[in-house]
Amino acid sequence: MAFSLLHFEKVKDGKYLKNYEITYQNKAGREKIYEIVSRRELQSAEDIGGAPSGVSIVATCGDRLLLLHEFRMGVNRTIYNLCAGMLNPEESIEACIRRELYEETGLTVKEIKQILPPSYAAVAISDVTTYIAFAEVEGDIDDHTSENELIHAKFYTREEVKTLLAQEPFSSRAQLAAYYFAYGPK
């Protein structure tokens, strides 16, 4: 027997996140209530996992990888992360990449190499999907962040990234990108 969605309802409406309880019939035929958060207002089951909400940018400048060392309130610590952000209404993904890169680092896009199809950001707790973009960037790093962001952007060599991977906390996407950059094909 397959899982089937029986019912869902919003249980909290926050400023940025909406909390839902989803009732499934599990493979044993019993009801299972599951909690998720979404950035969007879900009207029906078909809306779950719908429109992408943002982008993460794997940015390089020559043979160096851009990483952000930033304080993240959700984990109450400073971690290594990719440049990332939310799509504005009616904004193209390319425009979002350029805007977020500039806002968080002061850098500009030299070339967008590839944009992967949207992927799920945190499947255990959320229906949020985001793009992953690969870009060659240029310019000088400069802080254009808001008062609610504490971000230090820097380019790292492969050897420096190897050291960070062994010693520092990362977001999962940044850790995967950093590992591939440091140890993948040259």
In the chain, the domains with their CATH numbers are: 4-47 (no CATH), 54-183 (3.90.79.10)
What are 127's two structure tokens? 């229906």
Q: Report the pLDDT value the prediction gives residue 36, as an integer from 0 to 100.
A: 94
pLDDT above 90: percentage of residues in the chain: 78
What is the pLDDT averaged over residues 97-109?
A: 97
- Estimate to the nearest angstrom the gap between the alpha carbon of 125 and the chain centroid: 14
State whether residue 53 is helix, strand or coil. Answer: coil
Task: Please check the confidence at residue 59 and state whether its pLDDT lies above 70.
Answer: yes
Global confidence as pTM: 0.91
Q: Report the pLDDT value the prediction gives residue 1, as an integer from 0 to 100.
A: 61
